[in-house]
Amino acid sequence: MIKCIAIDDEPLALKQIIGYIEKTSYLQLLDSFSSALKALDFLQSNQVDLMFVDINMPDLSGIDFVKALNSAPKVIFTTAYREFALEGFQVDAADYLVKPISYSNFFKAVDKTKERYFSAIESGETIQQTEQFLFIKSEYKIIRIDYNDIKYIEGMRDYLRIHLVSQEPIMTLLSMKKMLEFLPNNKFMQVHRSFIVNLTKITTIERNRIVFDNKVYIPISELYKRDFQRFLDNNFIK
């Protein structure tokens, strides 16, 4: 499911978007708001995949609201004025809808957004696993990756970059949490919010950092230090 919120200061327009979200099987409405300011606290404590945001709102416009976010979810802008669409795309909007909004246009926009940004959430074929390897979706291809070929995995906002021994890194639209569910935990460990490492590929640890290829330094954060230290203690000759 793609987790959504809706923001619009017009009650009827907000009610319509809520109805369209509830009508669409792969969308899950988490909450709705009459102003962007009211949505800020919710975003700080909840994982949101997609926002429907009205551009023309008092106090804080939809575009200024998205610009103010450090790591914004994908956004589909709604507006009564077609001329605001270009400005919306300048903040990397997934799409925009011009009011009055029909369900067919709504569905067309969200379906395009799903295919472009959320195929990893919706596709059961995104990861397929065996004891030696897994398959992931990258762009329009399904790629086999051997566990032994993975050095480390880097989280990059909506994507993961899988760094390999045998070839250039592979990008996939996937979360760290989802990837950890499929990796064997006796070989892989998260050591930082943005890094998962293959424990069998570690050769050097320096000042709370894992060193790969004498040039890549991966920090071990406080949150994961205890588990990593336990791994070291279990494999350390004293």
Domain residue limits, the chain: 2-117, 126-234
Q: pTM above 0.85?
A: no
CA 1 to chain centre: 13
Residue position matching structure tokens 């059961």: 124
Residue type, 225: K
Per-residue pLDDT of the chain (238 residues; tens, 9 = 90+): 789 999 999 999 999 999 999 999 889 999 999 989 889 889 988 889 999 999 988 878 888 898 888 777 899 999 887 665 555 455 678 888 999 999 999 999 998 888 887 765 544 335 555 668 888 887 667 888 999 999 999 998 778 999 999 988 998 888 888 888 889 888 999 999 999 999 999 999 998 999 998 789 999 999 999 999 999 988 887 6
pLDDT attached to residue 132:
83
The pLDDT score that the predictor gives to residue 154 is 94
Tell me how far CA of residue 27 lies from CA of 34, 35, 50, 56, 195, in angstroms: 20, 21, 9, 24, 29
Q: What's the CATH class of domain 126-234? A: mainly beta
CA Rg, the chain, in Å?
A: 21
Answer yes or no: CATH 3.10.129.10 is held by domain 2-117. Answer: no
* pLDDT for the residue numbered 87: 54
Residue 180's alpha-carbon distances to 20, 97, 156, 174, in angstroms, are 33, 36, 15, 11
pLDDT value, residue 123: 45
